[in-house]
Structure 1
Amino acid sequence: MFKISRLAQLITYLAPFAREEGNSGKQGLQRLLLLRSFITVISIAVWLVFQSSLGLEFSLILSAALLFFMALSVTIGYWRTKTSDLISNIELFCHLLFDVAVLIIVLLNSGGVSNPLISYLLVLLAVTATLLPRNFVIVFASMGILIYTSFLFIDLQSGHNMNGGPEEQELVFQLHLVGMWVIFLVSSILISVFVTHMANAIKDRELNLAKSRESEIRNEQLVALGTLAAGTAHALGTPLSTMAVLLTDLDKLDIEQFKNSNIKADISVLRQQVTRCKHSLTQLTRYYNKDNSEKEENSLISEFTGDIQDYIFNIHPNASIKFEIACEGDPEVIASLSVKHAVINIIENSIKAAEKHVEVSFKIIESSPPLFQISINDDGPGIPAKILEKMGEPFISTQKEKMGLGIFLANATIEKLGGTIEMFNLKTGGALTLIKLPLPKYLQG
């Protein structure tokens, strides 16, 4: 006798929670065919083991015919799952009716209502409740109750002679059969109402979760793009300000001063700043139009470091800065444009704060799990304690007329990937920034 708790466990396997209705029907048919194959094998094994002891008389011709049609139905069913992307509710229901027809034939030739296999109707009803809409469930439940009632009526009419036993024993057995029928009736109603409702609720929940995941992915992409856009706008601020100052100075010169001024040097600076702006905008365009994010987001540590060095040396040719890769081999690290932008932002802040020079080191920390660490050390005055406490907020900065947006955006980018940014003042002077990121192979999802 199946209980509702057992049926609830069965639902978690039989109910295909797919995003598309066609795919759901396909998965449902696959699991129904698997269940049919399993029951067929178990039935054959039981019949072979117990036929002599139980005195079962089952026609070999009928057995062979049933096995043939069962094998044929499984073959056709699997062929349908391979050749069709859409399995309709009607087709699923027809497969369930085929199982019922086979069960009726078996029951008619092996004890009828007294055969425990009649409870398999409940299993098929549970499958119907998890795979098909309520109308199909009601029809199947009504049909199952009618079949069980018919077998019970036939058994009671035949008197079910207990091999010459007392009438009381016959009455007790008939009451037992009626009790089984009542339990079947109640179980059918419970499955039709509660299990169907539960299966629909679980399907709705899975669909809502799928939609939420898709929405979350879209939101993350928008946030990443917005963060990079804001970072690009922040990066454009310095070169545009430099160009504005140069153009203002040039505008104040008269013709004689213009001839005598070092105009070529100013033009070189302007060209350098224009290149910097173009590079920042190119990064943003590449990020927005990228076709294969997986290939672009990870690279070897040597390539990642090379990109950072090229940018810094190009934009800050006069800066005294040392780069070092302090790790064995050439492991793969997270190297998305937003991460590069964050690292460059921190390095540029150190260049501005440094008195003489900056040291940047890249290495792998042997922790659990291993981490990619970037340390940035400058010999500047350090970070004031009040500012250090609020570092990472968007409008905190040690520089006048700055908003601290760069550090805020860098912190947001690194935290989004499961990393951290830590800033310290060194006892010997200057500041140390540690950026720690998980390695790509240890990232979840």
Structure 2
Amino acid sequence: MTRPLSATLPLLDLDRVLRFSLYSRWVFVAVLGTSTLVFYLLQLGLPLLPLALAAAGMAGLNLWLAQAGQKGRPAQRLLQQGLLLDVLALGLVLGLTGGASNPLAVLFLLPLVMAALVCSARFAWGLTGIATAFYLLLFFWHVPLPAGEHAGHGDHEALFNLHLAGMWLTFALSAGLITTCVSRLVRILGERERRLNQAYQRQDTDERLLVLAMEAASLTHQLSTPLNNLFLLNEELRETPDLPEEVQEDLQLAHTQLQQCADILSRLKSQSQAEQEPVRLYHTLGERLAQWQNLRPEVRVDWQRPVAEQDPRVRLSPLFWPALFNILNNAADAGEGRIELHTHFHHNGDWELGVHNRSGVLSEAQLRRAGLDQFDSGKPAGLGLGVWLSHATLSRLNGRLELSNHAEGGVYARILLPLEPSA
């Protein structure tokens, strides 16, 4: 059984290879038609009508192959049929123009090179056998070139010079076509390899995210028990009589913080099943910032909230908020407790957020690697696991994260996220 073409060289884009072979065949048809016209003008004793019919027939079959490719027929089958057509057409043309003595016989190598590169071994060897048999037949069956047995010395010398010129022309044409064919295929392979490398990197990122998600789920369940114990202890202490007012206030603050921790754990547990409900963008951002600042009361966030009329209604993935808070925590630690937040909603649906802390600076190495790799974090401008997770999350949401040194000092994190508008 013949192996499918896709199994022989899976890195190749067969549709692009088919288009290249169709284009090369059109070039051959044009050269053959032009040569036939030149033979006619020079009044050479060659069978011009069969050559013209061969060019027309090859053009018609190539047009049929192109239309069949547009209709969705398998590219591997069309490619094999086209290579077989090349060998048959070349054998016919050589038989009409001198047979094996024609220096253009070396062109048999071109379809064989293509078959060896992109077809199965069985088909390539079969095509090689057909081409070899045709070449052997050309020694016995062919139409001789002008200047026959009774030609004079001058005719034989002219014929020999024509043969040498044909050998040079054949070499130049073969070298150009082989170089073009091989270099084109190498470029196709390079592009496919680059796409595969990107796919492997995405897979590696997904695997790392999966491991972190499993660890987070495990830690969530582990934290539930001590958190419930702290709730019970807090309740018992609050019920203790004759407590000073300061202690009562501290216990109430501790109860509020514990409740926020419980809410966070609850969101973590249900986040995998959360749906993207339509929300008011800036209203939701304000609520989330308030919740975050309850956990980081020492941080000052300077943000000018747009007016209500400019608050679009969108569908926002719940995965976005942990990514944003990672950036805010990193900026708060690096910026000595002060963050400037800039927001802008573009007309094309992209939401832009800028997080600016005025302390620290990123090195050239960090700027090259910013958001792409996980490495040790060194405040006040370190980039660690949190930034890497934010970058990976935003990439999965079709957004991106850019880090740069701000002209006024400090580090600027630019988040661009496409959002789905909702009526």
**What range is the shorter-chain TM-score in?**
0.5 to 0.7
- SS for the counterpart of 2:152 is coil
Q: In the alignment, what sits opposite 1:374?
A: 355
Match of 2:124 among 134, 137, 144: 137
Which residue of 2 is the match for residue 10 of structure 1?
Answer: none
What amino acid sits opposite 2:325 in the alignment?
Answer: H
What is the identity, as a one-letter code, of the residue corresponding to 1:323? D
1:277 and 2:265 equivalent?
Answer: yes
CA RMSD of aligned residues (A): 6.2
Displacement of 1:52: 1.0
Distance 1:114 1:107 in 2: 9
Q: Which residue of 2 aligns with 1:45?
A: 34
| Partner residue of 1:215 out of 200, 203, 209 | 200
**Partner of residue 434, structure 1:** 411
Task: Give 1:410's match in structure 2, choosing from 370, 379, 386.
Answer: 386
- Identify the residue that residue 107 of structure 2 maps to in structure 1: 120
Structure 1 residues 315, 214: CA separation in 2 closer, same or farther (over 3 Å shift)? Answer: closer
Contact 2:339/2:355 (8 A) holds in 1:
no
Q: 3-state SS of the aligned residue for 2:64?
A: helix
| CA distance in 2: counterparts of 1:306 and 1:229, whole angstroms | 32
SS at match of 2:384: helix
The answer to whether the 8 Å contact 2:91/2:135 transfers is no
Change (3 A) 1:180 1:322: closer
1:177-216 alignment, distance < 5 Å: 211-216=196-201
Counting only pairs closer than 5 Å after superposition, residues 258-297 of structure 1 correspond to structure 2 as: 270-283=258-271, 285=272
CA distance in 2 between counterparts of 1:207 and 1:108 reads 41
The answer as to whether partners of 1:125 and 1:140 remain within 8 angstroms in 2 is yes
Distance in 2 between residues matched to 1:177 and 1:46, nearest whole Å: 15
| Contact 1:125 1:141 (C-alpha < 8 Å) held by counterparts | yes
Amino acid of the structure 2 residue aligned with 1:126: V
- Work out the CA distance in 1 between the residues paired with 2:50 and 2:161: 35
**Aligned match for 2:302, one of 307, 319, 323:** 323
Q: Which runs of 5+ in 2 are unaligned?
A: 312-316, 345-351, 361-373, 393-399, 419-423
**Equivalent position amino acid for 2:303 in 1:** E
2:341 to 343, 361, 368: 361
* Count, aligned residues: 371
- Distance in structure 2 (CA, Å) of the matches to 1:243 and 1:421: 43
Contact 1:96–1:124 (8 Å) recurs in 2: yes
Sort the Cα spacing of 1:18 and 1:124 in 2 relative to 1 into closer, same or farther, 3 A: same
- Name the CA distance, whole Å, in 2 between partners of 1:306 and 1:228: 28
Task: Please give the secondary structure, in 1, of the residue aligned with 2:71.
Answer: helix
Q: How far apart are residue 44 of structure 1 and its match?
A: 1.7
Displacement of 1:155 in angstroms is 7.1
Q: Distance in 1 between matches of 2:267 and 2:40?
A: 83
Q: Distance in 2 between matches of 1:137 and 1:93?
A: 9
Could you give the per-residue CA deviations for residues 203-257 of structure 1, whole angstroms, max 9, x where no partner exists?
A: 9888766554332211112334555777899999999988754532323566767
Q: Return the alpha-carbon distance in structure 1 between the equivalents of residues 376 and 267 of structure 2.
A: 24
Deviation at 1:115, TM superposition (A): 4.5
Name the CA shift for 1:307/1:162 in 2 (closer, same or farther; >3 Å): farther
| TM-score of the aligned structures, taking structure 2 as reference length | 0.59
User: What amino acid is the match of 1:275?
Assistant: D
Change in 2 beyond 3 A, CA 1:346/1:243 = farther
Structure 2 counterpart SS, 1:83:
coil
* Residue of structure 1 equivalent to 2:93: 106
Q: 1:362 to 1:222 in 2, by over 3 A?
A: farther
Write the distance in 2 (CA, Å) between the matches of 1:71 and 1:157. Answer: 27
**Structure 1 length-normalised TM:** 0.57
Change (3 A) 1:266 1:361: closer
Amino acid at match of 1:41: A
SS class of match (1:87): helix
2:233 is the counterpart of 1:248: yes
**Contact 1:107-1:118 within 8 A present in 2 as well:** yes
Give 1:388's aligned residue: none
> Is 1:310 matched with 2:287?
yes
Answer yes or no: is the 8 Å Cα contact 2:96–2:142 preserved in 1.
Answer: no
Cα pair 1:22 1:86 within 8 Å, conserved: no
User: In the alignment, which residue of structure 1 is the partner of 2:82?
Assistant: 95
Distance (whole Å) between structure 1 residues aligned to residue 255 and residue 196 of structure 2: 54
Q: Tell me the residue number matched to 1:31.
A: 20
Matched, 1:67 2:56: yes
Cα pair distance change 1:81/1:415, threshold 3 Å = closer
Other structure's SS at 2:76 match = coil
Q: Superposed, which structure 2 residues align to 1:384-399 within 5 Å?
A: none
2:151 to 159, 164, 177: 164
- Partners of 2:35 and 2:164 in 1: CA distance: 26
Q: 1-side partners of 2:132 and 2:99: how far apart?
A: 14
Summarize the Cα distance change of 1:173–1:137 in structure 2 as closer, same or farther, 3 Å threshold. farther
Structure 1: distance between partners of 2:166 and 2:128: 16
Q: Specify every segment of 5 or more residues in structure 1 that has no aligned partner in the other structure, as ranges.
A: 1-15, 297-301, 365-370, 384-391, 399-405, 427-431
Distance 1:86 1:54 in 2: 42
1:25, CA displacement in angstroms? 4.9
- CA–CA distance in 2 between the matches of 1:315 and 1:156? 90
Distance (whole Å) between structure 1 residues aligned to residue 24 and residue 93 of structure 2: 17
